[in-house]
Structure 1
Amino acid sequence: MDNKKEHPTENFLLKLISQELEQSAFGRDMCTRFPPEPNGYLHIGSAYAIHSNYTIAQRFNGTFHLRFDDTNPLKEDIEYVHGIIEDIKWLGYDPEEHIYYGSDYSNEIYNAAVTLIKHGKAYVCDLTPEEVTEYRGTLTEPGRNSPYRNRSVEENLELFTKMKNGDYPASSKVVRTKIDMGSPNLNLRDPVIYRIIHAEHYRKGNEWCIYPMYDFAHPIQDAIEGITYSLCSIEFKDHRPLYEWVLRELEIPEPPRQREFGRLNLTGVVTSKRFLRQLVEGGHVDGWDDPRLPTIRGLRRRGYTAESIRSFIEEIGSIRNQSTVDISLLDHCLRQDLKAKTISVMAVLQPLRVIITNYPDNDTELLMIENNSENEALGSREVPFSKIIYIERDDFMEQPSKGFHRLSLNIEVRLKGAYFIRCEEVIKDRDTGEITELRCTYDPLTKSGTGFAGRKVKGTIHWVSESHAVKADIHLYEKLLLDQENPKDNEDWTTKINSDSKVTLKDVLMEPFVEHAHREPNFQFLRHGYFCLDKKYTTGERLVFNRIVSLKDTWSKR
């Protein structure tokens, strides 16, 4: 898709709502809602839906509701409720006091079903779930009426009361609307609106044993809360006629209006809640907060900022249909957010020992190094320098290739914020031939900030003092899936998991400033990217960092 930001005046959803309100305004203030089911955690696609509802409410000086669709006791848990509230507030879309629960409207929804039965618009059906599916027909063949469709109002009311009282086993009876079994829209072929579930509800206990289907409960809950616009993703467009039918049959004045926007997918990222659950429960990832997952908790743990996620959503603009966006745009937004507010430090991921032979044996200098080259307001810090340091192994090449401008034998290079050094000798393991140590000299006249005696070098490399280095572990992440697209239902998607999606580096050496990681949320490790402390695994004895994103930005070059 086009990566240009859609101007707010061109936002199709905002334009549509504005036109509708000009023609037929509500007699109440704008009110939108986000209705997650508490059976898992939010992901980046959820953030897009939340943003759409929240910003439309703000645009028209209205209110935004968070309402939990908690009408299925088999899947839901208070853990997810708390997690969803926390994530939404972290994203910056705080509903404040407007947090509601669909289960609190159980009496009203039950009475609505009774009303439909009394009006001859709903009936109790004894078909099994398999038979209901068989009778529904197909996209090319009409459905068949249930043999129980013509039960009397009195019989239906009696059976529904018994269902409510727990007189029947689960799945033995359902309540269905009486619409049109020949409708080309399968959602209107006498859809089920109530089913029997004998299970304890996480909030209501055993108060109820019948629960409404989402398509029935949704419009009623919206009407109760005074929602003006029910904004949902495009897959619910075929459900809109049922949404409107329910409100019309219940004679709701100034009914809410359902309008749809496109569903957001990201390349190489699983956004289906079903697939996410399988990844978590199958042990393929480290829980719902695994940094490789697009869950808000996973993005938070990896180090993504709320500002970068909001910027990403705003950059996409308003999507009309289902769209797949390159995840590099999200990374670009993150880099843009971090580059001017993150402290740059030195970390050596693949250490190579360097002895500066002409430096005083027991001397230590504290060198002042800027915290961020793009933001002077972040100041500078002291970095210890001594006789023995470590550099990156790939910053040295004994026989340099063309274009290699780092350290080589008899070649001079600048140490970041310190001195020029020259490699004089290469020490190797006698058995393997592997380079184990470099012997170098330094020029004391080339100290950073004092002038370089008129000499220049082509390369600058980072380093860490051996006697002051802090050891830490680092997790490097790549895409979880090998393919760009989400797995299909009939695919063995476990074969698509990238076995190299997580690599752990042990005993990485870092300058001592990283010990401030508990109060500095993110760092830039020079040349390696942006990193954050992994609080899940960091202990008092060992720091653990996650790489948020590399420094290379492919999106900005498009």
Structure 2
Amino acid sequence: MTQADNRPSNFIRNIIDGDLASAKNTEVHTRFPPEPNGYLHIGHAKSICLNFGIANDYQGQCNLRFDDTNPEKEDIDYVHSIQNDVKWLGFEWAGDVCYSSNYFDQLFQYAMELIDKGLAFVCFLSPDEAREYRGSLNEPGKNSPYRDTSPEENRALFEKMRAGEFKEGECSLRAKIDMSSSFMCMRDPIIYRVKFAHHHQTGDKWCIYPMYDFTHCISDAIEGITHSLCTLEFQDNRRLYDWVLDNISIESRPYQYEFSRLNLEYTVMSKRKLNQLVVENHVEGWDDPRMPTIAGLRRRGYTPGSIVEFCKRIGVTKMNNMVEFPMLEACIREDLNTNAPRAMAVLDPLKIVIENYPEEQLQMIDAPLHPSEDMGTRQLPFSREIYIEREDFREEANKKYKRLVIGKTVRLRNAYIIEATRVDKDEQGNISCVYCNYAHDSLGQNSELVAKPKGVIHWVSVAQALPATFRLYDRLFSVANPLAQDDFLSTINPDSLTSLQGFVEPALLEAPAGLAYQFERQGYFCADNKDSTSDALVFNRTVGLRDSWAKVVE
């Protein structure tokens, strides 16, 4: 069994091909192991696509396992959101959802095995003392005074830890490895600590919880994982991963491989930092459309296919790099260009009165939902009074301006050609209304007029237009790498969200939440999946029609 021929190769797939060819493995079993302490972000999407994609391509299995070893920071809401995100991206896990907490009894027994072998001990150093004993990158650590306690006494002490007879921080169970190791993670790491916290899966059964590095490798082995794929920050921890499995009596033997995490410009990919943004109300929640979370991208109108395609394009390597944001926007723009229905919306309305159009007449114009795809049509009401974008009119303009100008003509999208004749202005001198005439025989783009206008603009009929709020999103941060700054919060872009009040065509009254439309000449927008109702329409801009980032950088 080898990878599908039409899939791009990478170093992980090469390893798997070699393992199958040598019969080291006869099947491929991966896992996606999020901690339920926050919403998934687009960096997790890369891991999801890798782990589930490899399992699919090799006709193997991929588990969804929650590494739930820190109940103080975990929440069942995060568990549910993660499951929803994986399904929304189009992936299914093998069997039931797994939890590291399912294995707490087994993990306790494996810790006992290390104690019996003289490879783990209960340490009573305070956290400050433990840090002092640990040494530094330039100096070796020194052994804890409790390191040589007998296995029998350590077993009794560990049982007392489990029974809740010690306070939090009073003691911990540590692996006995090498305090002079050049790898800090091998300097007698803590593998269990006391924590009196209610767990969302096990309730109050436990008051000791295993550490991630001890739990993860054993959970992999219990589940029969063959290839444990982690990001590069776990590269040194692979030594501890191997040490634990090599020193307990467990049959299955997974191996860990590391790949580079996704770093995306103008975002942060730390759940701790993202949580800070939420808790301190810098954003409106984990699903704020400015957030790089999958929930935020979904609310903004991104499609599963565009995110999967983005993950495919950035590839899988061992080299850390910063991915440019336009690459993500290109993927959604390409998707929506083909798949998004068209509609008209006016974000900054300017009233037009077509003086030679009958006052009481209402005409329904049949307009395509897409210029090239077969999506059907919708009905556009046309009347004497319409709204256009304020920027689409000037009293005077040079030849490069191809919109409405006094004495010149322009095409209304899917409708008539009009010519501006005069304007009204308010007391401040701002244009409040433009008066026009229309060519009654110019309906449709293919009318046989001699003088065809150079420009086409969008519009909505005043009487039938629906009021709507438009949310325009910019970068959440003003610098490409916020975490390189002393205070990443100081780089938050104050103009990351702009709200406008305008109008949309009536067909959008029942626009499904999250379904992106191309608002002609404005960009791609979708009805907000939380705030938009039939009584108060709210549309989020997914992405513009063209890349505006190059101009931003300049």
Q: Normalised by the shorter chain, which TM-score bucket?
A: over 0.9
The one-letter code of the counterpart of 1:15 is N
Which residue number in structure 2 is paired with residue 534 of structure 1? 528
Which residue number in structure 2 is paired with residue 135 of structure 1? 133
Distance of 2:281 and 2:423 partners within structure 1: 46
Does 1:471 find its partner at 2:459?
no
* Deviating more after overlay: 303-312 vs 509-518: 509-518
* Deviating more after overlay: 440-449 vs 298-307: 440-449
The one-letter code of the counterpart of 1:311 is E
Distance of 2:325 and 2:262 partners within structure 1: 11
Which residue number in structure 2 is paired with residue 413 of structure 1? 410
**Aligned partner of 1:60 among 58, 61, 66:** 58
* TM-score of the pair, normalised by structure 1: 0.95
Distance of 1:7 and 1:316 partners within structure 2: 17
Which residue number in structure 2 is paired with residue 434 of structure 1? 430
* Deviating more after overlay: 282-291 vs 94-103: 94-103
Q: Contact 2:515/2:526 (CA < 8 Å) preserved in 1?
A: yes
Distance of 1:491 and 1:519 partners within structure 2: 39
Post-superposition Cα deviations, 1:139-190, rounded to whole Å, max 9, x if no partner, equal 1111100010000111101100100111010110101111111111111110
Q: Contact 1:329/1:555 (CA < 8 Å) preserved in 2?
A: no
Post-superposition Cα deviations, 1:303-362, rounded to whole Å, max 9, x if no partner, equal 110010001001111121222111111111101111112111111111111111111110
* Deviating more after overlay: 263-272 vs 531-540: 531-540
Distance of 1:345 and 1:371 partners within structure 2: 7
Going from structure 1 to structure 2, the CA distance change for 1:22 and 1:203 (only over 3 Å counts) comes to same
Which residue number in structure 2 is paired with residue 505 of structure 1? 500
Give the match's secondary structure for 1:468: coil
Distance of 1:152 and 1:517 partners within structure 2: 70
Which residue number in structure 2 is paired with residue 233 of structure 1? 231
Q: Contact 1:332/1:556 (CA < 8 Å) preserved in 2?
A: no
- The aligned runs of 1:61-460 (5 Å cut-off) are 61-375=59-373, 377-429=374-426, 431-448=427-444, 451-460=447-456
Q: Contact 1:423/1:441 (CA < 8 Å) preserved in 2?
A: yes
Give the match's secondary structure for 1:39: coil
Q: CA RMSD in A?
A: 1.7
Distance of 1:348 and 1:110 partners within structure 2: 63
Displacement of 1:535? 2.3
Distance of 2:492 and 2:549 partners within structure 1: 24
* Deviating more after overlay: 241-250 vs 47-56: 47-56
Structure 2 gap ranges (5+): none
Q: How many residue pairs align between the two structures?
A: 547
Displacement of 1:133? 1.4
Post-superposition Cα deviations, 1:90-120, rounded to whole Å, max 9, x if no partner, equal 0112215241011110010000000000001
Distance of 1:318 and 1:208 partners within structure 2: 39
* Deviating more after overlay: 314-323 vs 444-453: 444-453
Q: Contact 2:513/2:528 (CA < 8 Å) preserved in 1?
A: no
Distance of 2:490 and 2:252 partners within structure 1: 51
Q: Contact 1:341/1:378 (CA < 8 Å) preserved in 2?
A: no
The one-letter code of the counterpart of 2:496 is S
Displacement of 1:225? 0.6
Displacement of 1:555? 9.0
Going from structure 1 to structure 2, the CA distance change for 1:520 and 1:83 (only over 3 Å counts) comes to closer
Distance of 1:208 and 1:520 partners within structure 2: 42
The one-letter code of the counterpart of 1:536 is K
Post-superposition Cα deviations, 1:21-69, rounded to whole Å, max 9, x if no partner, equal 3335225x31111111111110000111111111111222110001111
Going from structure 1 to structure 2, the CA distance change for 1:129 and 1:520 (only over 3 Å counts) comes to closer
* TM-score of the pair, normalised by structure 2: 0.96
Structure 1 gap ranges (5+): 1-5
Distance of 2:115 and 2:92 partners within structure 1: 39
Give the match's secondary structure for 1:414: strand
Distance of 1:9 and 1:88 partners within structure 2: 22
Q: Contact 2:513/2:526 (CA < 8 Å) preserved in 1?
A: no
The one-letter code of the counterpart of 1:297 is A
Q: Percent identity?
A: 46
Which residue number in structure 2 is paired with residue 3 of structure 1? none
Post-superposition Cα deviations, 1:394-424, rounded to whole Å, max 9, x if no partner, equal 1011120341011101011111111111111
Displacement of 1:436? 0.6
Does 1:37 find its partner at 2:35?
yes
The one-letter code of the counterpart of 1:12 is F
